[in-house]
Amino acid sequence: MKVVIIGAQWGDEGKGKIVDYLAEDAGYVVRYAGGPNAGHTIVVDGKQFALHQVPSGILYPDKKVFLGAGMVIDPEKFFAELAMLKENGINWEGRVFISDRAHIILPKYRQMDKDRDSSRKRPIGTTGSGIGIAYSEKSHRDGIRLADLDWKERMADMDDEDLEYINRYRDLLLNMRVDLTAKMWEYRNENILFEGAQGAMLDIDSGTYPYVSSGASCAAGAATGCGIGPHDLDKILGVFKAYQTRVGNGPMPSEFNEESEGELCRYVRDTGREYGVTTGRARRCGYLDLVALRYACRVNSMDGLILTHLDIYDAMEQIEACVAYDINGKIVTDFPANIDELNCAKPVLEKFQGWRTPLKEIKKYSKLPKQAKAYIEFIEGFTGTPVDIISVGYERNETFIRKNPWKK
């Protein structure tokens, strides 16, 4: 089985925890997009790990993990991350591999990234990690791949400063380099978990362009970024939170109004620890946007959904979710591409009764309060997609499965 995990919102949905949880039954974990701009948080036995480039399955001592062809790798940050893992008792040697088609982020890309964003009339809100520049160079056919480190003519064309940087990590990178397509074929009869970065609404093609990431954070990116064809993907699961968050600029129709809903916003942000793993920035928060979620399910052919942070609503008497947009007096139920329309959109809200019950100790769907079930069942009906897994906390054991992801 080959299972794809993608974010179904604007990132930060809890993919790291879910990939870590499901990796127990996978032989291999492959990260297929993004770079150090991603922040995947995992909590094991009360200990927190913040991963940015290393796939989330690394915390299992018997798992091999791969950085895919669709990724852009920052060698300096990558090896610092590996050093952090080793300091925390995670023996990663011989278990971390990089596709020879993955691209490399050069140090100058970071400043170029910041300069380009600050010069825009409408800044994107980049993390300044050099991601956009790396993908831009890739599209211009001027990027550097791991496969190019043995290409003498290409290396000779590089600036002295860039070449010095590459040579600092060259041997270390070459020791991890693999032909990912060959490996995926070798492991074709085993369970492989494909880990996305960012979220479906940040995809370069189907997201809220231009306020998107530069990589393919859609489900199709799992094929292009891992050296396999789309027919080899058996299941696509989208992770979403019980509410909505976004980092950086761009439209977010269901965002809380700071003036009238500031208290609710602060409660959700603080209870849900909604601060960026990579940047530390406070995330924008809002009601669950079911219009955007249904669009993400459709455009990514999602087989199932994974609901996280449901416990954040434990203390609330009433919760609400966005079921349509009011755009200049017109009720819209499909997600628009036009940014002006999205910026003008006001959420049409549906009310749900709260459950006033702590969910962390619950291990079965049947034991959930009826109010929580009603909220989940409404989401399923609205999106036309079943909720297969539910997370009610940060720890691995604070998760329960309604449908086994490793069965077709």
Q: Rounded to whole angstroms, how far apart are CA atoms 184 and 400?
A: 29
The tokens for 147 are 């496969």
What's the distance, CA 151 to chain centroid?
33
Residues 312 and 243: beta-carbon distance below 8 Å: yes
Strands 346-353 and 103-104: unpaired
Residues 254 and 288: beta-carbon distance below 8 Å: yes
Any catalytic annotation for residue 231? no
- Name the H helices within 239-317: 258-271, 290-299
Q: Rounded to whole angstroms, how far apart are CA atoms 355 and 369?
A: 6
Residues 391 and 405: beta-carbon distance below 8 Å: no
Q: Rounded to whole angstroms, how far apart are CA atoms 73 and 217?
A: 16
Nearest CA among 39, 113, 104 for reference residue 75? 104
Any catalytic annotation for residue 52? no
Q: Rounded to whole angstroms, how far apart are CA atoms 236 and 250?
A: 26
Q: Which of 20, 25, 40, 234 is catalytic?
A: 40
Q: Which of 12, 20, 203, 289 is catalytic?
A: 12
Q: Hey, which residues are catalytic here?
A: 12, 40
